[in-house]
Chains A and B, each alone.
Chain A
Amino acid sequence: KQEVTQIPAALSVPEGENLVLNCSFTDSAIYNLQWFRQDPGKGLTSLLLIQSSQREQTSGRLNASLDKSSGRSTLYIAASQPGDSATYLCAVKGGSNYKLTFGKGTLLTVNP
């Protein structure tokens, strides 16, 4: 059974700092990995999706990497801003089914 772990559970940084969020998964036979952002009381917004054949994806100040063999992904946020404060979730899709398995998220607070 796939398990997804996100460390740390919470992170507080000053504005302008570069930061890394971590995601690990137990079964490397994945189809893709998706990073989401969730603001309090809101739904999930897809940030980046990495296919299993890819090593990284970039969107603006965000860069996500994938090391399938070691079961790890990182989300790098450059020059963090208070508006980046949110919970960040990673989710993996297995190769043989439609299901996404989610981590429990990292609560990020960027202080002005």
Chain B
Amino acid sequence: NAGVTQTPKFQVLKTGQSMTLQCAQDMNHNSMYWYRQDPGMGLRLIYYSASEGTTDKGEVPNGYNVSRLNKREFSLRLESAAPSQTSVYFCASSTLPGQSYEQYFGPGTRLTVT
């Protein structure tokens, strides 16, 4: 099992450019999440998908969109990147409702917006 995978690992964008961060999990988890991690702010939830076909906003959704493509894949899109979106982005997935809800994280995407 690869667990949670993310692409790309690193990305540099110019202000106003768009990009999509990809995430996939092979653990048959129902729920998937996107977080951002910033110095001094900790990890903050951007969007999550409780199950295939549903998505919901987290704490900091502005400037982002998500797509739950299927049970395995959950993508995060920046339509018009801003310097404030410079961050490390983590995707996670969790075990099924009724189980432990333990979350497993991917290795992260380091994004710089100039």
Contact = CB atoms under 8 A, between A and B. Distances in A.
A15 to B, nearest CB: 28
A43 interface: yes
A34 B104 CA distance: 11
Interface string A77-105: 00000000000010101000011101111
Interface residues of A, number: 21
A78 to B, nearest CB: 23
Interface stretch (B12-20, B68-76, B79-87, B94-102): B94-102
Nearest to A42: B107
B100 A32 contact: yes
B50 A98 contact: yes
Nearest to A102: B43
A31 B42 contact: no
Interface of A: 31-32, 34, 36, 42-46, 49, 51, 89, 91, 93, 98-100, 102-105
Given A45-B105, A98-B50, 10 more contacts: A31-B101, A32-B102, A34-B102, A36-B105, A42-B108, A99-B48, A100-B33, A100-B45, A102-B42, A102-B43
